[in-house]
Structure 1
Amino acid sequence: MPRRIFKNLVIAAAGPLPGQLTVDSLRQWTTIRKGVFIEGFDEHVTHLLCTREQFNQKLPRIKEALARGKQQHIVHCDWFEISAVNDKKQPERDYSMRNILAKQNAAKRELARIEKGKREGERAVNTNLFHIYIDREFFSYQIDINRDDDEKGELGQRYTLYLWESNAKPHLYWFTAKFMKKKGDSQPSFHRPSPCSGPWRREMDLFMDFFRIKTGIEWQDRVLGQKTMPKSFFQYSPPIGGKPVGRRLRFCYDYCLEINAQQRGLPWPPIEESVEANDEEAAEAKDEEIAEDIDEDAVTELQSQAMDVCAHDAIPVDEVYFESNSQSPSEFSVKDDDEESRVSGDKIETEEYVMSQEVEEMEEGEEVPKQPQSGVYLM
């Protein structure tokens, strides 16, 4: 008896299938394995069988299944035949026509990328062999400088400067620039001063020289001198928001921003940052005041509790006398038997009481008898 490998499955065919996979045989083999085969096609179908040719032709049932998404498996007819022969349901992913379509699309994209790189190589650099250079601080050497030419009415002029690094090692470098006369220009022009790639120092110098000519400022002054040149020059805006700004600045980044603000007559630190700093200081001062109030209240409460405890635990001692020397120094008697346990439990207050009595007698000029040498211990 075959295993129930097609249980809860509804199987259909996209068209005529090769070999022994006729409609009758498909229905019979599916039924004895507790599945359902239908000649039509609807949303209840879980597996649609087809061949590679039928899938490439995009038959109506295949188009409908593709439109419904991944809820319906589109599998090669070999999936059904191998599962039935081995009496074990095979994984759909190994026979999925969607995966085949995805691989085909990926191959097409890769081919298009290669062709695009070749076309770019004719005008600038072959992107199949080079990539954008990124320095050790993760700054990408692909920058934009912009200008609005009001005289010619060309708004949004832009140069994009590139420093390319070869995929192969040892690395070679290449500087190029792309110019767009206006925003959305479909036919940009390219500038490539070197006939071939070369060492980093040479191409980096070309990169910095081009930047200086177009912006009027040195590359190392790109942060210090931003937005300080006339509008006839191209303007460069360094990355913000914590993004890397590149190496080789004239001074440290924060100091460059401060000098730039002074040159442009702007407040430093910026107003927004000053307001935020003042808000933070005010919040900290308020927190300190609250903490001080809480501390004072806590101290007052603890003092009141201590006074209550002292008033509750104070023990009046009416008369204390010592036994004879034959008794142990730690033994003593109290005339009031009811107070014996209270006196023995609070030796400190009793001792203070005795000392206070001695002080009062000394103030009155009376002679105070000396304590016995053996000492007195309160238990």
Structure 2
Amino acid sequence: MPRQIFKKCVIAVAGPLPGQLTVENLAQWTRLRKGIFSNDFDEFVTHLLCTREQFNKRVPRVQQALKRGKRFHIVHFDWFEFSAVQEKKQPEKEYSMRVLLAKQKAREREERRIEKGIKDEEKFVNTNLFHIYTDREFFSYQIDITRDDTGLGELGQRYTMCLWESDAKPHLYQFTAKFLKRKGDGQPTYYRPSPCAGKWREEMDHFMAFFQKKTGVDWEDRVIMQKTTNTEHFQYTPPAGGKPVGRRLRHSHEYCLQINAELRGLPWPPEEEKLEAKADASQGGDILAIPGGSDEWEPETSAKMKNDSFVDENMDTSEDETPSSTQDIPDDEEYEENVNDDPEKDTDLNIEVSRESELEDDEMEEQPLTSSSDDSTEGSTSQVVVDGHTTPSSLASDNTSCDTMDTDATVPGEIDDPRFYEAVRQALKFPVPN
């Protein structure tokens, strides 16, 4: 029993096929393999069988198939015969007449390219054997120089200068120039000083000499002298926007641009660069550093805060100055070393810390988050609520540096960042009273 290799296939023919592939046999063999054979060529057909002659002559069904696009297969009749004999559906791509047509068109294009190269060799250069030379900075030696000859009424005159490099090695080089009298001219003229390709040095000299003759500018000064010569000369515009401009400049590219701006009376640096630099600067700004980060946190203070000092103005600070930032406070390792020097102080400190933690836990459970009415009660630590944050009143007084402190002094209302109060606590480190 034949296998169902043509299932879901609707097969038609473009015309009579050779051998035993008659319409009756094709219909029978297709039905045995669960396919459908159609005498008509409609939109349900999935495979159109034809010969190469029928395809080349573009018989009516082949023409209709090509107009419908690639929605179905146009295959050589061998596809059907080999699939039926081997009881396996063969890949359509190997027998596709579309692929054959594409290969045929590619072959024709290659033949035309070769013919064009041979024709150009007589007056230009064989483009099948040469390509445009590119230096180590990826500058392509194919440039245009233009001018408008108002006297002759020839606008858009253009020379296309090329330095060619051979595909074969060792490389040979050749300079050519193509001239168009006006924009859209379909009959260019060619200039080739050397009858055949030669060494790079010789052809590069031809390139630079032609450039100097037509533009009035040396090749090394092409950036410095751009747009500075009169209209009688051809004009060259070097690539911009960071593109390579080629080697052999008189000075560095940046310095050449600066000289050109001075010759033309233009500002330097250009206004565009100034605007870009100004925009980049405006995008930046003061960034608020977080305490404990890589930058020091220095919050902005108002004039009122500067007048309301937390330290008594009459206090003598000539010998012992208060640290101005957290950087002046010793770190934890140094602090532990100073404490561990005296065992008795270490024991007292542990007892004091445990008592402070017990007092703070008891007070947090017993007292609400409101301002304390009695700040002088022994055995308890009064609390002050500032912008929703509970702060021990011991932060507002320094028992070690002064006897009394203005308890009415508060932090200005405009500082509402909780990180500020945390920084104050770390900077002052006042002991909690027993």
TM-score, structure 1 normalization:
0.78
Query: Could you tell me which residue of structure 1 aligns to residue 65 of structure 2?
Result: 65
Give distance in 1, aligned partners of 2:290 and 2:259.
44
One-letter amino acid of the structure 1 residue matched with residue 358 of structure 2: R
Per the alignment, in what secondary structure is the counterpart of residue 147 of structure 1?
A: strand
Query: Could you tell me which residue of structure 2 aligns to residue 342 of structure 1?
Result: 358
State the 1:67 CA deviation. 1.5
Give distance in 1, aligned partners of 2:43 and 2:171.
56
Give distance in 2, aligned partners of 1:99 and 1:149.
51
One-letter amino acid of the structure 1 residue matched with residue 168 of structure 2: A
Query: Could you tell me which residue of structure 2 aligns to residue 156 of structure 1?
Result: 156
Deviations 1:164-217 (A, max 9, x none): 111111111111111110011111111111111110000000000000000011
Query: Could you tell me which residue of structure 2 aligns to residue 235 of structure 1?
Result: 235
* Aligned counterparts, 1:133-144, within 5 A: 133-144=133-144
Give distance in 1, aligned partners of 2:114 and 2:357.
101
* Aligned counterparts, 1:301-316, within 5 A: none
Query: Could you tell me which residue of structure 1 aligns to residue 81 of structure 2?
Result: 81
One-letter amino acid of the structure 2 residue matched with residue 227 of structure 1: K
Give distance in 1, aligned partners of 2:18 and 2:242.
63
State the 1:340 CA deviation. 11
Deviations 1:290-331 (A, max 9, x none): 6479966799xxxxxxxxxxxxxxxxxxxxxxxxxxxxx89x
Give distance in 1, aligned partners of 2:241 and 2:2.
66
* Aligned counterparts, 1:1-379, within 5 A: 1-284=1-284, 287-288=285-286, 291=288, 342=358
Give distance in 2, aligned partners of 1:34 and 1:54.
27
One-letter amino acid of the structure 2 residue matched with residue 243 of structure 1: K
State the 1:341 CA deviation. 8.8
One-letter amino acid of the structure 1 residue matched with residue 219 of structure 2: W
Per the alignment, in what secondary structure is the counterpart of residue 41 of structure 2?
A: coil
One-letter amino acid of the structure 2 residue matched with residue 32 of structure 1: L
State the 1:131 CA deviation. 1.1
State the 1:268 CA deviation. 1.7
Total equivalences in the alignment? 318
Task: Flag the structure with higher helix content.
Answer: 1
One-letter amino acid of the structure 2 residue matched with residue 138 of structure 1: F
State the 1:345 CA deviation. 8.6
One-letter amino acid of the structure 2 residue matched with residue 273 of structure 1: E
Give distance in 2, aligned partners of 1:256 and 1:341.
73
State the 1:153 CA deviation. 0.4
State the 1:269 CA deviation. 1.9
Give distance in 1, aligned partners of 2:254 and 2:199.
32
Per the alignment, in what secondary structure is the counterpart of residue 69 of structure 1?
A: coil
One-letter amino acid of the structure 2 residue matched with residue 253 of structure 1: H
State the 1:342 CA deviation. 2.1
Query: Could you tell me which residue of structure 2 aligns to residue 325 of structure 1?
Result: none
Change in Cα spacing, 1:293 to 1:152, as seen in structure 2 (3 Å) is farther
Per the alignment, in what secondary structure is the counterpart of residue 70 of structure 2?
A: helix
One-letter amino acid of the structure 2 residue matched with residue 147 of structure 1: R
Per the alignment, in what secondary structure is the counterpart of residue 276 of structure 1?
A: helix
Per the alignment, in what secondary structure is the counterpart of residue 239 of structure 2?
A: coil
Deviations 1:330-353 (A, max 9, x none): 9x99xxxxx99926999xxx9xx9
Query: Could you tell me which residue of structure 2 aligns to residue 373 of structure 1?
Result: none
Give distance in 1, aligned partners of 2:214 and 2:173.
21
Give distance in 2, aligned partners of 1:278 and 1:340.
55
Q: Gaps (5+ residues) in structure 1?
A: 300-328, 334-338, 361-379
Query: Could you tell me which residue of structure 1 aligns to residue 344 of structure 2?
Result: none
Per the alignment, in what secondary structure is the counterpart of residue 257 of structure 2?
A: helix
Change in Cα spacing, 1:122 to 1:341, as seen in structure 2 (3 Å) is closer
Identity percentage of aligned residues = 62
Give distance in 2, aligned partners of 1:98 and 1:340.
92
Per the alignment, in what secondary structure is the counterpart of residue 49 of structure 2?
A: strand
* Higher mean C-alpha displacement, 183-192 vs 202-211: 183-192
One-letter amino acid of the structure 1 residue matched with residue 264 of structure 2: R
Give distance in 2, aligned partners of 1:296 and 1:32.
90
